Structure 1
Amino acid sequence: MPTVTRLLQDHVTLTCECIDRMYLNGYVPTLQTPGQLVRFYSDHRGQPIASPVLCGRHTASFVQAVETFAARHHIPMVHFPKHARKEAIARKYFARYRGSEGVVLIGVAQERMRGFRATKLAAGQFSWTRQPVCVKHYYFYLLDRDFGPAFIKIGTYLPFPIKVWLNGHEWVKRQLEHARIPYRSLDNGILSVADPARCQALCDALSADHVEAFFRKWLGRLPHPFAAADRRAGYRYQLSIIQLEVSATHVFQRPLQGRQFFEEVLREHLDLGRPEQVQLVFGRKVIRTTPGPFRTRLITHDVDPSLSIFYKHSKLKQYLKEGRALRTELTINDPWDFHVRKSLRHLGYLRQLGQHITRRLLASERVSQDCAPSEALFHQVILPSTHNGLRAPGLRFGEPRVMALLSALCAFLHLVDGFTNRDLRDRVAPLLTPQPETYTAARMTYDLRRLRRKGFIQRLPDRNRYVVTAKGRRIALFFSKTYTRILRPGLGACDPTLPTETPTPLAHAFHQLDHIITTLVQEAHLIAS
């Protein structure tokens, strides 16, 4: 069976890295607290009392504007039943829509949102608090010339929150059509394209400016919760990121190759869900206060398996799309998982971060099956050497301390912030039985010096932190896999003192070799018969 590396190098017809689904939050920054609400009605609109009556009038005015808009433009309004699949209902209206751009449907649903509640204190006085409220929401399902199908959801009560749903792949498809570049569509993706380089360039070109332009265009066309005078006074919406999907799609030549990929990957990566292994993919340190759980889920329903890796609020999923394409998809449910704020202006950075993480997973899957070093590199590792005039002691294969050290390095790959002496020592010490307490900070310092002079780790500039190099990762994987998957089980199979009902082929061959060597020694009269 071909390896993961061969499958990705020789049997992929198209690779496409793109922002997938975006779910955004529209909010008015100056209308988020009770005090700001009071200032809105009292200072800005000149009302003597910020009362619930004013909020009710504001809601009624917006609802009337939406109903008038729907009637004027002959837009169907559908009341969604509770727990209904809104996308399935909207899909039927999209199928019947014949325009090139416009509002396809207005859905109506009762949903919860964070609004304001008033408590009457005395005559003409109210106390406002921010609380969950259940109010009417309008779903404006749109067909956009640049983004294709999308929707904007607006709550009908202060502060009139907005939710925006877009799809980056649909944006790329529209740009290909505008440029008259032929392509074949994949469900939420692209199966083939006449100009792959141009397609990837378009994927990389999607930015926060395009999303902002879409949002402002439709805010100008749809009924707006705030009057023009309110907007001129600074009560304008801004966008933040609720959920973002960044994906890498590899289209295989045949469906069989997709199945072969997963057979190889799942066999090699059954333990990726451990917190230490999560760091391989997400590049973030897991500490005591890091919220869990951390887990890996393998699903093999029907014919398409999938691999899901969870980290904080985010999820990395790998699965087959339509049996033809490998989709590696990072879903960011909270940008702060990666110490990034939610503002839309960080979209470009989050896209790069997502691409880096998906590539990291694919690189991990490749190297795990192709980690054998050259003979020269192997000798450089196990023998003492000199680098830049500094002596580097050898790392002898099989030595418990060396094996524990390299095993710990496997769990610290690609940490964006690196690791310290203490971080790595806490991982190495438990692997040194029966006396882990003997592994002191001084010994860890000595080992870090060995690793650095061998080129396995690099020290970050002006910091006492280190990151693992590509060479270090390869050697750590090779030593660990060779010891745990070949040497240890092989020696166990050859041990004549271990009872076995049916000897393994290795044990049978070893016993035959042992018998032949014993016969040769006896015939040479090297030992007494």
Structure 2
Amino acid sequence: MPNVAEIIREHVTLDVKCVDRLYLNGYIPRLQSEGGVVAFLRQAGARAVPSPAIFGTITDAFKARLRAWCERRQIPWIDFPKGERKDDIVQKYRDRFPAASGVVLVGVAQERAWGWASSKTQRGRWVHFTWRRKSVCVNHYYIYVLDPEWGPAFIKVCGYAPYALKLCLNGHEWAKRQLRHRRIRFTALDNGFLDCADPAALHEICHRLDARDVEAFFTRWLARLPLPLTAAQQAAGFPYRLSILQMEVSRTQVFDRPVRGREFFEEIIRDNLDLGRPSRVQLLFTRRITRATPGRFQTRVVTHGVAPSVHVEYKRCHIKQYFKEERALRTETTFNDTYDFGVGRGLSNFRYLRTLGQHINTRLLETEQTAHDCGLARAQLADLVLPTHTATGLPAPALKFGQPRAMALLGALCRFACAPEGVTNGRLRPVVAQLLGVPDGAYTARHMGYDLRRLVRKGLLGRVPGRLCYSLTPLGRRVALFLTKVHARVLRPGLQMLDTHIVAQAPPRLRTLFIALDAATDSLIEEARLAA
């Protein structure tokens, strides 16, 4: 069976990097604060007292206006049954939709949202309202559209103040539309691509997608659809603005044969389950993690029936690898909170998040390939296990293969294989102690400091400029994975098989062959009359 590196290098026919699902929030900035709400109500009601009844009037008027707009255009209006998948219901209407673009249907569902609630205080003729955020269950209006540039999408409008919108778009569908405009042939793979007559043009199109295309969609439909706030109210200082709620950045690698995808996941699953690590292991990103950092940091291998998937979690960010439609490997990073990476939710961060997501996807794939193509040359192995000197003459103590402390150190580095930076004394030491099977206090910071110097001088770690931490070098990643694999998969089980004190109902084949070799060697010595 080919390894992961060979599968990716030799059996991928199309490699597509593209933004996948985009879930955006449309909000009115001035309606996010109590002062803005008061100013809006005074302006909308032309009264000194900002009465909450104005919001009720706007809500009722919006529903009536949207319903009448749909009736004039013969657009279906449905109430979504509770518990049923909306996409399954809408797809039947999409299949029958006759036009190339337009509104397919409007669906209504009751869902929870954060809205404004008021408290009234009255003293004689003096009346005052205070406002607070409250979770309310209100009508949401799903407007499903076919857009000339984005294809299938929907806009969800909350019918309650502050009248938030949600937009759901898909970058792969946008790319398909651009290919059709250029008359470039392709075969779809669900919401991806199975093949393309011009892969270079597809790459250029996917790379060209940016925030301006999203804004163009938003502007186009704001002008066409009835919304809770009229155009005049929006122009009077209450316009909508977009922010990123969720963004999926994907890389899809199409295999020449479906069997290659299954082979890929067999190897990946094996690495996550038997390389001396538990089924859930820590995976570090470029962000610093401390004990106070909320969220989970782990890798999971999930096998639902015969469709395995790998899930990596960092705070609220999620990476998923799965076998798409039995033809392609989809590696997908989902940003659920952009603040996990130190940037705001503004649409201006679209390009940065796309680049970051592709960097994460690539780093994960490179680590998986290195894990399966990590052999060392004889000279590299000799430099590692023997005492040497650095180019500046500093002594580099040996890392002796098989020595418990050296193997625990290399095994601990495997936990940081996906971390381009951020290996510190404090983070690495408890992992080494755990693999040694000793209390944290028995493997001290002084011991860790000595081992870190060894790793740096052997070229396995590099110092991060301006920070008190190290990054795992490409050589370090290769050495850690190779020697840990040899120790965990060859040396340790091999010696166990050869141990005659371990009783086995059926002796391992290696033990049987070794006993036969031992007997043949004894016979040869006896025939040579060399026995004592």
Normalising by the smaller structure, the TM-score range is: over 0.9
- The alignment partner of 1:279 has SS state of coil
Whether contact under 8 Å (1:294, 1:312) holds in the other structure is no
Stretches of structure 1 lacking an aligned partner (at least 5 in a row)? none
Q: What is the TM-score normalised by the length of structure 1?
A: 0.93
Deviation at 1:408, TM superposition (A): 1.0
- Deviation, 1:422, is 2.0
Aligned to 2:221: 218
- Deviation of 1:515 after TM superposition, in Å, equals 2.1
Residues 461 and 476, structure 2, Cα contact 8 Å, conserved in 1: yes
- Look up the equivalent residue of 1:128 and give its one-letter code: W
Corresponding letter in the other structure for 1:34 = E
The Cα shift of 1:435 comes to 6.5
| Per-residue CA distance 1:491-517 (angstroms, 9 max, x = gap) | 111112222222101111111222233
Given candidates 136, 139, 142, the residue that maps to 2:139 is 136
Letter in 1 for 2:425: N
Aligned to 2:523, which of 502, 513, 519? 519
Residue in 1 that maps onto 2:453: 449
1:496 is aligned, of 495, 500, 512, to 500
Tell me the residue number matched to 1:462: 466
Distance change (3 Å), C-alpha of 1:436 and 1:158: closer
Structure 2 residue 114 is matched with structure 1 residue 120: no
Report the Cα distance in structure 1 between the residues aligned to 2:121 and 2:440, rounded to whole angstroms. Answer: 65
Q: Does the 8 A contact of 1:284 with 1:416 survive in 2?
A: no
Query: What are the equivalent positions in structure 2 for 1:17-28 lying under 5 Å apart?
Result: 17-28=17-28
Q: Which residue of 2 aligns with 1:57?
A: 57
Quote how far apart the aligned CAs of 1:525 are: 5.2
Tell me if the contact between 1:22 and 1:244 (Cα under 8 Å) persists in the aligned partners: yes
Instruction: Give the secondary-structure state (helix, strand or coil) at the position aligned to 2:412.
Output: helix
How big is each residue's C-alpha offset from its partner over 1:330-364, in whole Å with a ceiling of 9 and x where there is no partner?
Answer: 22222233333222222222222221222222222
Counterpart-to-counterpart distance in 1, 2:176 and 2:107 = 26
* 2:129 aligned partner, one-letter code: F
What does the per-residue CA deviation read over 1:431-483, in whole Å, with 9 as the maximum and x for residues that have no partner?
33457534332332222222122221111111111110111000001111111
Paired residue secondary structure (2:283): helix
TM-score (structure 2 length as normaliser) = 0.93
Native 8 Å contact 1:172 1:202 kept in 2: yes
From 405, 412, 422, give the equivalent of 1:408: 412
Deviations 1:19-38 (A, max 9, x none): 11111111112111333211
TM-superposed deviation, 1:187: 0.4
Is this contact kept in 1: 2:143–2:156, CA < 8 A?
Answer: yes
- The Cα RMSD (Å) is 2.2
Q: Find the counterpart in structure 2 of residue 179 from structure 1.
A: 182
- For 2:110, give the aligned amino acid: Q
**Alpha-carbon displacement from aligned partner over 1:204-244 (angstroms, at most 9, x marks no partner):** 11111111111111111111322334323331211122222
SS at match of 1:331: strand
In structure 2, the CA distance between the partners of 1:133 and 1:436, relative to structure 1 (3 Å rule), is closer
Q: CA deviation at 1:274?
A: 5.7
- Once residues 423 and 271 of structure 2 are traced to their aligned partners in structure 1, the CA distance between those partners, rounded to angstroms, is 26
Q: 2:261 aligns with which of 258, 283, 290?
A: 258
Give the letter for the 2:435 counterpart.
Answer: L
Counterpart CA distance in 1 for 2:214 and 2:439 is 58
Alignment pair present for 1:206 and 2:209: yes
Measure, in 1, the Cα distance between the counterparts of 2:159 and 2:247.
Answer: 25
SS in structure 1 at match of 2:99: coil
The SS at the match of 1:390 is coil
**Partner SS for 1:116:** strand
How far is the alpha carbon of 1:67 from its aligned partner? 2.1
Which deviates more from structure 2 when the two are superposed, residues 148-157 or residues 104-113?
A: 104-113
CA distance in structure 2 between the partners assigned to 1:435 and 1:333 by the alignment? 37
Among the aligned pairs, what percent are the same residue?
Answer: 46
